[in-house]
């Protein structure tokens, strides 16, 4: 059985075989969810798009429309995530965060504070294609204050990509101190100019210099005391991604399953977005951060049915049945 990384023998005949298998799973009385899940989780996103194209030509309808008509609830949501190209998926999540009832700041932070310049440019292009709208303009229209400024800056996809400069890091660390704990009030613009523009390699050096100058006190501690609400969360996300990207996502996964209930949409977003890139490393970091907790087992305890089967398969890198 192929893993989520995809199959090697992926010719036209095989694509038709997979399209037929999904069609058969939806024909007749009832739906064979197991076959649908098995096909989707044992191929990577690019291969799922190819199967969907074969299905569209063979059966005269977009595969995702037929899947939506057959599935419901969390299973429908996770299958839609799997059937969407990664940057289109980000664009849809951002659109929902901005244009839904209220503003989902947590999702905005989770995407814009963690994507590369290239990915943000691709997200903006996908957003315009899907919604005939400009992402930056929509962000401006839906957010305000310094939090809105931070998101606007990140959406420009202008973060520098250069090696760290020790002297400049020293200057920028002092700039952050002077803009925060070194004065009455906070100069959020100076924080923005450093955190949203400097390369991650440079920021890592800046944060080290900052802690030296503050005699052991971290920038996270000072942001926590100086900033408020969503702006604080956004700046902390940038710091955490700079210092420990896998740890940042592990923390979000933990939060999605912590306490009463499960934030299934966040769980789906995180696992599907990282399944083909760094989910393995995030799972290892998860275990280190949360006293040996196992991501696979925690998701197994929190979720059920074929929805659980999809998530566990993505974590394990192999097909996992709903009864395993």
Q: Does the pLDDT at position 216 exceed 50?
A: yes
Domain boundary among 95, 125, 155: 155
147 found inside a domain? yes
**3-class DSSP string for the chain:** CCECCECCCCCHHHHHHHHHHHHHHHCCCCCCHHHHHHHHHCCCHHHHHHHHHHHHHHHCCCHHHHHHHHCCHHHHHHHHHHCCCHHHHHHHHHHHHHHCCCCCHHHHHHHHCCCCHHHHHHHHHHHHHHHCCCHHHHHHHHCCHHHHHHHHHHHCCCCCCCCCCHHHHHHHHHHHHHHCCCCCCCCHHHHHHHHCCCCHHHHHHHHHHHHHHCCCCCHHHHHHHHCCHHHHHHHHHHHHHHHHHHHHHHHHHHHHHCCCCCCHHHHHHHHHHHCCCCHHHHHHHHHHHCCCCCHHHHHHHHCCHHHHHHHHHHHHCCCCCCCC
* Mean pLDDT across 196-217: 97
- Confidence grade of residue 125 (pLDDT, cut at 50, 70, 90): very high
Answering whether pTM is above 0.75, one says yes
236 found inside a domain? no
Whether residue 112 sits in one domain with residue 77: no
Q: Measured in whole angstroms, how far is the alpha carbon of residue 275 from the centre of its chain?
A: 10
Whether residue 223 sits in one domain with residue 253: no
Whether residue 77 sits in one domain with residue 16: yes
Which has the minimum average pLDDT: 2-16, 193-207, 298-312?
2-16
pLDDT of residue 286: 98
- Confidence grade of residue 5 (pLDDT, cut at 50, 70, 90): low
Span 139-164, pLDDT tens digits: 999 999 999 999 999 999 999 999 99
Domain boundary among 155, 184, 211: 155
* Mean pLDDT across 299-307: 97
Whether residue 108 sits in one domain with residue 95: yes
Q: 201 is in which domain, residue-wise? A: 166-227
Domain count, the chain: 4
60 found inside a domain? yes
Domain boundary among 58, 82, 106: 82
285 found inside a domain? yes
226, 186 in Cβ contact below 8 A?
Answer: yes
Span 9-45, pLDDT tens digits: 789 999 999 999 999 999 988 999 999 999 999 999 9
Whether residue 97 sits in one domain with residue 51: no
232 found inside a domain? no
Whether residue 210 sits in one domain with residue 261: no
Residue 180: which CATH number? 1.10.220.10
């Amino acid at each position: 059985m192929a893993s989520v990384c995809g199959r090697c023998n992926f010719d036209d005949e095989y694509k038709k075989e997979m399209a037929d298998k999904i069609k058969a799973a939806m024909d007749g009385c009832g739906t064979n969810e197991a076959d649908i899940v098995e096909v989707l989780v044992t191929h990577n996103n690019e291969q799922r798009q190819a199967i969907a194209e074969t299905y569209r030509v063979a059966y005269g309808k977009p595969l995702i429309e037929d899947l939506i008509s057959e599935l419901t609830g969390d299973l429908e949501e996770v299958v839609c995530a799997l059937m969407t190209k990664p940057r289109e998926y980000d664009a849809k999540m951002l659109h929902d965060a901005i244009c839904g009832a209220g503003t989902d700041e947590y999702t905005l932070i989770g995407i814009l504070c963690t994507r590369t310049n290239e990915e943000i440019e691709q997200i903006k292009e996908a957003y315009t294609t899907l919604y005939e709208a400009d992402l930056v303009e929509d962000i401006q229209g839906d957010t305000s204050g310094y939090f809105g400024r931070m998101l606007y800056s990140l959406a420009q996809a202008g973060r520098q990509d250069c090696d760290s400069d020790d002297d400049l890091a020293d200057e920028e660390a002092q700039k952050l101190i002077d803009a925060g704990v070194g004065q009455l009030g906070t100069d959020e613009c100076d924080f923005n100019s450093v955190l949203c523009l400097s390369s991650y390699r440079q920021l890592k050096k800046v944060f080290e210099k900052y802690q030296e100058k503050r005699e052991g006190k971290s920038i996270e501690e000072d942001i926590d005391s100086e900033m408020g609400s969503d702006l604080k969360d956004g700046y902390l996300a940038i710091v955490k991604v700079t210092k420990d990207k896998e740890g940042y996502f592990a923390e979000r996964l933990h939060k999605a399953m912590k306490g009463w209930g499960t934030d299934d949409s966040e769980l789906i977003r995180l696992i599907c977005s990282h399944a083909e890139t760094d989910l393995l490393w995030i799972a290892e970091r998860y275990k280190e951060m949360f006293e040996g907790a196992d991501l696979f087992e925690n998701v197994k305890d929190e979720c059920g049915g074929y929805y659980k089967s999809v998530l566990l398969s993505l974590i394990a890198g192999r097909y996992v049945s709903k009864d395993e």
